[in-house]
Chains A and B, each alone.
Chain A
Amino acid sequence: AQSVTQLDSQVPVFEEAPVELRCNYSSSVSVYLFWYVQYPNQGLQLLLKYLSGSTLVKGINGFEAEFNKSQTSFHLRKPSVHISDTAEYFCAVNTGNQFYFGTGTSLTVIP
């Protein structure tokens, strides 16, 4: 079975500082990769996705992620965070017929 590891459960960062949220997955077969954001008591919203092509993908709200096949990673980055980025972030892998989610990273932006 596929596993998705989000290496940091909580990440505090000061406003306007850069941030990286790490995600590793176990599968060596072709996968589709996603990052979602969740605000309190709400559903998940898609930030960005990698299906094929360029390994650097850009998403909404200034986020980007890089697919590294050799390291089976898909880390999420933002060069300058805002207070409104405080939320839970989930990495997800789809092997073609099912999603597998990480346990989430809670990002807290400190004023």
Chain B
Amino acid sequence: DAGVTQSPTHLIKTRGQQVTLRCSPKSGHDTVSWYQQALGQGPQFIFQYYEEEERQRGNFPDRFSGHQFPNYSSELNVNALLLGDSALYLCASSVVYKAGSPLHFGNGTRLTVT
């Protein structure tokens, strides 16, 4: 049973560039959430996708956008990268109809913006 998979594992970009991160949820999960984890901090909620729509959003600017595909996989896009966007980006999946369904995380994508 494959868990949550993310790609790529590491990425280096320059300020102003755009980046796309990818996530495949755990088998049987239909909801994908994205989190940003800065060094030494806890994960911060970016947004959640279900049925190919953004259902809830955290306190992140519009430069952060996403997409969910019919197979439940998801992408996170960040435009006009800033140095402060350097972080570990974590994807987590869960089951929408099950209240309190724990998040299952991938190993993340380490983004470095120079």
Q: Does A associate with B in a complex?
A: no
Chain B interface residues toward A at CB < 8 A: none
Chain A interface residues toward B at CB < 8 A: none
